[in-house]
Amino acid sequence: MPTLFGSILRGSAAMVLLALGACATMDREECLTVDWRTVGFEDGVRGYAGDRIGQHRKACAKHGVTPDFAAYQAGREAGLREFCVPANGFRLGSQGGSYSGICPADLEPAFADAYRSGQQLYTLESRLSNVTHSLNSKREKLRDAEADIVTRSAVAISSDATVEERAQAVVDVKQLGELVGRLKSEIKQLEEERVHSERDLQDYRATLQLSP
């Protein structure tokens, strides 16, 4: 039997963003010719929250059209039964999406469990990404500090520099040396953290592969 993680990777259907933009949900022609049950079904399949019809109402009000709530709701409930499957729950969680408890009671437990599994994957991936970003940033700062030490050291021994400039360069080199020491310590810690983060992520992915 294919694993849940494997089916997510193959992803037979694209997950639609649940956040709504500022544009109207329907234009004039759509409002005048719409089948509200079909609209409800499509919104349900996409996992939209219950307040989606309010946006349709606002879009169509300017055209003198009022949504058929009963037809819309019947369609949405049917659409939600298509949406509320574990694969979509996992995908939503793994993309960092939010879930507002829209699934029917009989489908809720499996969907929510898969969503939490996806959330855990997202958390582990984000942690690794953040550690890697911090590590790269610290390494760049270290390279800059080491380059500055070379530059300021040259000033400290330059016969062309004034006494004050050489004295300041000596102070700068000392401070830069302390910064280099701190950065090397932080980099070492981040390297260890990245190893742990990579291992935790690999271990969790392995559990997903083993899941039925």
What's the rounded Cα separation, in Å, for the pair 95 and 184?
34
Handedness of CA 28, 31, 34, 38 (dihedral sign): positive
DSSP 15-59: PPP-S--SS-SS-HHHHHH--HHHHHHHHHHTT--TTHHHHHHHH
What's the rounded Cα separation, in Å, for the pair 14 and 88?
9
pLDDT of residue 21: 39
The packing angle between helices 36-45 and 52-61, to 10°, is: 140
Place of tokens 């000596």: 170
pLDDT digits (tens, 9 = 90+) for 82-115: 999 999 999 999 999 999 999 999 999 999 999 9
pLDDT digits (tens, 9 = 90+) for 146-189: 999 999 999 999 999 999 999 999 999 999 999 999 999 999 99
Phi/psi-derived region of residue 26, left when phi > 0, alpha when psi is between -120 and 50, beta in every other case: beta
Are residues 89 and 118 in contact, defined by beta-carbon separation less than 8 angstroms? Answer: yes
Are residues 113 and 89 in contact, defined by beta-carbon separation less than 8 angstroms? Answer: yes
pLDDT digits (tens, 9 = 90+) for 181-212: 999 999 999 999 999 999 999 999 999 875 54
pLDDT of residue 11: 41
pLDDT digits (tens, 9 = 90+) for 43-95: 999 999 888 999 999 989 988 999 999 999 999 999 999 999 999 999 999 99
Q: What percent of the chain has pLDDT over 90?
A: 77
Q: Tell me the HSE value of 24 on the side-chain side, using a 13 A CA sphere.
A: 13
What's the rounded Cα separation, in Å, for the pair 200 and 184?
24
pLDDT of residue 172: 97
Residue 172's identity, in one-letter code, is D
Residue 20's identity, in one-letter code, is L
What's the rounded Cα separation, in Å, for the pair 106 and 85?
11
Confidence of residue 23 (pLDDT cuts 50, 70, 90): low
